[in-house]
Amino acid sequence: MSNHDHNHSHRHNAPLSDIALRVKALESLLTEKGLVDPAALDAIVETYEKKIGPRNGAKVVAKAWTDPDYKARLLKDVTTAIAELGYGGLQGEDMVVVENTPSVHNLVVCTLCSCYPLPVLGLPPVWYKSAPYRARAVRDPRGVLKEFGIALPAETEVRVWDSTAELRYLVLPERPPGSEGMSEEALAALVSRDAMIGTAIVMLEEKTTP
Amino acid sequence: MNGIHDMGGMDGFGPIEREAEEPVFHEAWEGRVLALTRGCGAWGKWNIDRSRSGIEQMPPAEYLRASYYEKWLWRLEKLLVDAGMVTREEIERRYAETKQAAETP
């Protein structure tokens, strides 16, 4: 549900749950005290629903694939490099880009909670914040990757990065073979959120050959 | 400090459940909790460490049961009360009034 009409006047059959009422009550209390402005809250919700998301990260990845100088800048100083594309802000201050290669596969987790490179990926999916992923990504990363459909050769090294409030990670996936000559825009369209967490591999669209 | 939040390496949580085409927020109140947390955080009464530690102080059984944004709401109330921005009584009174109003036909 993406509607943020918080009085829900349009949903005649759906009474608010207790927790929704509790949030509504808290918002009215804080508004009355002048601690928050509902219009500003609307803008924050809209930003996360519409403006900040994994498409941002996909553009960063595609640029790094096509522009070696940009890639060098990205690996050296993420904050400055993503700012070139207009991204930055909260929880993007201290980021590291980890590069997948034929011999190394990187996987990102936040075992303690949900730290995530917000400016380039938006808010994390529920599975990233879930107990099973947080618990197992560090203990059995290959098993986790298998659950996501990735079977790595035994000789590929898996590096797991545990995010903290101070440091967040973005995976620079491998550019798929056969993508030579594709435009930056077409490349960006191939890059999924999961590929930038390390739970997917970037592939060209499957050809439907019978 | 160890605690229930320190989940790396724990066993027994089962498979990772994924949702295709997951919305950014599953319920409107989740977005409001996030926005309220950011809005109140802007007053500078707490930093990210205090904020993280807030969630980690949730009683372990409740921590395991609660959804992500339920944890956020629990934390926001705690941070606001600890910072003296609202009182626990004000929160509970307003909730009771809001609930009563919603239940009155």
Structure confidence at residue A4 (pLDDT): 46
Give the mean model confidence (pLDDT) for residues B18-24. 94
Structure confidence at residue A2 (pLDDT): 43
Spell out the domains of chain A, with CATH numbers in brackets: 18-50 (no CATH), 52-197 (3.90.330.10)
Q: What is the ipTM of this complex?
A: 0.94
**Annotated catalytic residue A163:** no
Q: What confidence tier does A168 reach under pLDDT thresholds 50, 70, 90?
A: very high
Residue A148 pLDDT more than 50? yes
Interchain CB contact of B43 with A (< 8 Å): yes
Phi, psi at A130, each rounded to 5°:
-85, 155
- Contact residues on chain A for B33, CB-CB shorter than 8 A: 23
Supply A7's token pair. 């009085």
pTM (2 decimals)? Answer: 0.89
Q: What confidence tier does A10 reach under pLDDT thresholds 50, 70, 90?
A: very low
Structure confidence at residue A42 (pLDDT): 97
Q: Which of B11, B36, B74, B100 to mutate to test the interface with A (most CBs of A within 10 A)?
A: B36
- With beta carbons less than 8 A apart as the criterion, state whether A82 and A88 touch: yes
Give the mean model confidence (pLDDT) for residues A32-60. 96
Give the mean model confidence (pLDDT) for residues A133-158. 96
Percent of chain B with pLDDT over 70: 99
**Can you tell me the distance from the alpha carbon of B22 to that of B78, in angstroms, rounded to the nearest whole number?**
29
**Can you tell me the distance from the alpha carbon of A131 to that of A139, in angstroms, rounded to the nearest whole number?**
13
Residue A3 pLDDT more than 80? no
Q: Of the listed A115, A163, A179, A183, which one is catalytic?
A: A115
- Where exactly are the structural domains of chain B? 29-37+46-103
**Can you tell me the distance from the alpha carbon of A15 to that of A8, in angstroms, rounded to the nearest whole number?**
9
As a whole number of Å, the end-to-end CA separation of chain B is 49
Residue A6 pLDDT more than 90? no
Q: What confidence tier does B1 reach under pLDDT thresholds 50, 70, 90?
A: low
A145 vs A114, residue with greater confidence? A145
Q: What confidence tier does A7 reach under pLDDT thresholds 50, 70, 90?
A: very low
Whether B5 sits inside 8 A of A113 (CB atoms) is yes
Strand ranges (E), chain A: 95-99, 104-109, 157-162, 168-172
Structure confidence at residue A166 (pLDDT): 80
Interchain CB contact of B61 with A (< 8 Å): no
